[in-house]
Amino acid sequence: MSTCCGPKAGDPGRYDLAVIGAGSAGFSAAITAAELGAQVVLIGAGMIGGTCVNIGCVPSKALIRATETLHNARAAARFAGVAANAEIGDWRATVRQKDELVASLRQAKYADLLPAYNNVTYREGAARPVAGGVEVGGAILSAERIIIATGARPGVPSIAGIESVPCLTSTTALELEELPGSLLVIGGGYIGAELAQMFARAGVRVTLVCRSRLLPEAEPEISAALTGYFADEGIEVVSGVAYRAIRNTETGVALTLARDGRERTIAAEQVLNAAGRAPNVEGLGLAELGIRQTSGGAIVVDDRMRTSRPGVYAAGDVTGRDAFVYMAAYGAKLAAKNALNGDSLAYDNAAMPAIVFTDPQVASVGLTEAAAQAAGHETRVSILSLDQVPRALAARDTRGLIKLVAEAGTDKLLGAHILAPEGADSIQTAAMAMRGGLTVRDVAETIFPYLTTVEGLKLAALAFDKEVSKLSCCAG
């Protein structure tokens, strides 16, 4: 480790590293730097903890799990002789329980951590990088290196009239203490998909509209299957649309759109904007510092997490890539190490697992078939429906499929994509296989436990060369 990072005795205003943003990325960077012996100033504005714990992952998954219990009760009759019923008795109580969980995790995983690191100074206030350090509340804090980790917020889609309509966002939708009768969801990405299903299971009549298709970054087979499962639950998905205008009505909102050359107006009590996120870069003075941004405003970084200004790094959602909390923390940890020890570490997302918490869950790692071919690979694919997986048969729930993408010739695993009720807990096996450079034959020859969802990966690997339906249990 470099020895450049010792404290500046007698000069409390000087730091080895300044971190702007006190969310998951900011804390990861600050803790990493502190463990390396650096003097760090962590600067937060607003609620400590950032998106994930406060308004993103934690609250959404808590409510998704709550409404999943309703679905499970309604689906109990798939087992002969079993009957169950569940209903929402007090949505306000469910939301407040979620708020209590958020508050406890924010305290335990963020606020309570600060006293454990004597070489981390926490400051509140809006901050911006300046020559030689950062400015906070009119004061200049001297810092040799800076990491920007200010996160992102819900974006605003380009729809005529959107500014005059009181749209819910992924933040405010999770705060509703009364459920609307009907909801229009704009956006078919992971946020729109998760929240559409959650509200539908809570008893709201939901219509989801999107420019492309549901989960456009997923394999098309998964997108099509999930669209069908949504329809089974009463969720209408209207894809491939062009937005014309949105307006207020006496009973809520109305969106006019065009599809296949025809116009249609969809009315609902409330509308949820889930059409993407925008980086929090306002007030940072990036242009004045010569820090490059994308057309959408995200900070451009290289594989070392460096911005175009020497000494300034960025990590997390503000960079506009890999918008997952664990990737934000990973990138920030990398940025801190590079900032203090010579930029020797490269960002690597080749085996990055990604989850969409719909039901069935969508889990993926590596390249899709189209992406692999675009990258120049000649590919082989295997698609296994869940009715070939014993776990799904025993659970009497065969919704889903598993798709593996391999490189022809070498059979190296390039990507794995799972749509299954328990898919999220299975994808890490594929991620480890990819990280280890395994082939689909290696996966097929690995011992997997019987009657598990993850066993489907083995069966999908076997399906490259065998007819799985003709194998006995555990054979292959």
DSSP letters spanning 268-327? ESEEEE-S-EEE--TTS-HHHHT--B-TTSPBP--TTSB-SSTTEEE-GGGGTS---HHH
Peptide bond preceding 154: is omega within 30 degrees of 0, i.e. cis? Answer: no
Phi first, then psi, for residue 121 (nearest 5°) are -100, 130
Residues comprising the binding site? 61, 187-194, 276, 317
Question: What is the pTM assigned to this prediction?
Answer: 0.94
Helix (H, G, I), strand (E, B) or coil at 391: helix
Q: What is the pLDDT of residue 6?
A: 38
d(CA 243, CA 255): 8
Whether 145 contacts 313, CB under 8 Å: yes
Residues comprising the binding site for NAD(+)? 187-194, 276
Q: What is the pLDDT of residue 475?
A: 60
d(CA 254, CA 271): 9
As to burial, measured by CB atoms within 10 angstroms (0-12 exposed, 13-18 middle, 19+ buried), residue 441 is: middle
Q: Which pair of tokens denotes residue 244?
A: 């014309």
Residues comprising the binding site for FAD? 61, 317
d(CA 226, CA 23): 32
Residue type present at position 165 = V
Q: What is the pLDDT of residue 5?
A: 42
Whether 52 contacts 23, CB under 8 Å: yes
Q: Could you give the domains of the chain?
A: 14-49+110-154+278-341 (3.50.50.60), 162-275 (3.50.50.60), 354-467 (3.30.390.30)
- Please provide the DSSP assignment of 162-228 as one string: GGGS--B-TTGGGG-SS--SEEEEE--SHHHHHHHHHHHHTT-EEEEE-SS-SSTTS-HHHHHHHHH
Per-residue pLDDT for the chain (476 aa), expressed as one digit of tens each? 333 443 333 346 799 999 999 999 999 999 999 999 999 999 999 899 999 999 999 999 999 999 999 999 999 999 999 999 999 999 999 999 999 999 999 999 999 999 999 999 999 999 999 999 999 989 999 999 999 999 999 999 999 999 999 999 999 999 999 999 999 999 999 999 999 999 999 999 999 999 999 999 999 999 999 999 999 999 999 999 999 999 999 999 999 999 999 999 999 999 999 999 999 999 999 999 999 999 999 999 999 999 999 999 999 999 999 999 999 999 999 999 999 999 999 999 999 999 999 999 999 999 999 999 999 999 999 999 999 999 999 999 999 999 999 999 999 999 999 999 999 999 999 999 999 999 999 999 999 999 999 999 999 999 999 999 888 877 66
Nearest CA-CA partner of 217 in 101, 366, 95? 366
d(CA 180, CA 206): 10
